[in-house]
Amino acid sequence: MATTITTHAYARAGLVGNPSDGYFGKTISFIIRNHRATVTLSESDRFEVVPGEDDLMVFESVNDFLANQKLYGYYGGMRLILAAVKKFHDHFAAKGIQLPNKKFRIAYESDVPRLVGMAGSSAIITATLRALLQFYQVSIDKPLLPSVILSVENDELGIAAGLQDRVIQVYEGITCMDFDKPLLDTRGYGEYEELRPPAPPPLYVAYDPDRAKISGVPHSTLRKRWTDGDPIVHQTMKDFRGLVDRARIALLAGDWPALSSCIDENFELRRKIMALSSEYTRMVDVARRAGASAHFSGSGGAIAGLCEERDYANLCSELNAIGCTVFRPTIDA
């Protein structure tokens, strides 16, 4: 009987610290089980990658194509899977492990909102690597797996990104990450701590697909400033580390006002080093006026923060009025 493997990886949101993960900073992120990428791998008589819905170039009209291209670009999931398969084999070849020449059919689907900073691309890659590990019956140490996932985008596809998304999609729950440079240089991964607060924090996530953005664009500009030694960028990345330390203490103490303050401060630090258009900052402004804390959960198009139940209906109403979907994230299985 042919082997069939099904794996998942979930959306995520950065809570505090992003975008410092690619710059030896610290972050806290949480998983979002409300949305996921699913990969199905089955034995076959040939190697086949099945196009997903986003790869099928079928539109009602040219105008529909142009509207889709403006919003999402030219990016589907097949290239992510192909790059993941290659990097998977490269990883084991570098360790002197020759994988058998197996044949399989691999397909994917995803309901992670596209290009709004919820890590839909890395979810597809993470689910793919999980399926490949099961299929070939091999393993990669848990702390190292996020680095392999990141290399798919950095090395194979030339996408500027950091480790944060991949760490939280591997560890899940709520995770604090320290990307200290000596650790990364000496062992290839940071310090990752799964956090368990005394009660579930009143988290919310909001997104608007009309504000979609390719995450590599803002990251590439920031990367150049970092590489050029911009003192403001370098100091801000250090500030993120201290901010995450405070947020971790607040989270573990269940001190939601203190954690909310850290979330709001995170947005102000981000504003210092990245150009933020008014359509993105408006989401944050509206959420704050409704009584919530808020900052970008990723690169734009989605926000996250804390909102007490007494303010949640108002938050939903105000954000819905500007085209946003709002929900409470499911974190635990």
Q: Report the interhelical angle of 216-227 vs 231-253 (nearest 10°).
A: 120
Mean pLDDT for the stretch of residues 113-129: 92
Q: Does residue 257 belong to any structural domain of this protein?
A: yes
Residues in the chain: 333
**Domain CATH number, residue 305:** 3.30.70.890
Query: Rg (Cα) of the chain, in Å, rounded?
Result: 20
Q: Which two tokens stand for residue 194?
A: 């799964």
Mean pLDDT for the stretch of residues 72-94: 88
The domain boundary residue, chosen from 177, 195, 213: 195
Q: Does residue 91 belong to any structural domain of this protein?
A: yes
pLDDT in tens, 154-163: 999 888 788 9
Rounded to two decimals, what is the model's pTM? 0.91
Residue 2 has φ and ψ, to the nearest 5°, of: -65, 140
* Residues 178 and 258 occupy one common structural domain: no
Q: Does residue 332 belong to any structural domain of this protein?
A: no
* Residues 182 and 211 occupy one common structural domain: no
Q: Which two tokens stand for residue 137?
A: 């019956």
Q: Count the domains in the chain.
A: 2
Active site residue 165: yes
Mean pLDDT for the stretch of residues 68-96: 86
Q: Which residues of 7-28 are buried (b: 16+ CB within 10 A; e: fewer)?
A: bbbbbbbbbbbbbbbbbbbbbb
Instruction: Give percent of the chain above pLDDT 90.
Output: 76
pLDDT at 73: 64
pLDDT exceeds cutoff 90 at 217: no
Q: Which residues of 211-225 are buried (b: 16+ CB within 10 A; e: fewer)?
A: bbbbbbebbeebbee
* Residues 166 and 266 occupy one common structural domain: no
What is the extent of the structural domain holding 119?
4-195
pLDDT in tens, 254-296: 999 999 999 999 999 999 998 887 877 999 999 999 999 999 9
CA dihedral sign of residues 207, 115, 167, 102: positive
Q: How far apart are CA 111 and CA 125, in angstroms?
A: 14
The domain boundary residue, chosen from 169, 195, 221: 195
* Residues 34 and 74 occupy one common structural domain: yes
pLDDT: which is higher, 232 or 280: 232
pLDDT at 215: 45
pLDDT exceeds cutoff 80 at 41: yes
Which residue among 21, 54, 165, 178 is the active-site one?
A: 165
Compute the mean pLDDT over every residue in the chain, rounded to the nearest whole number: 91
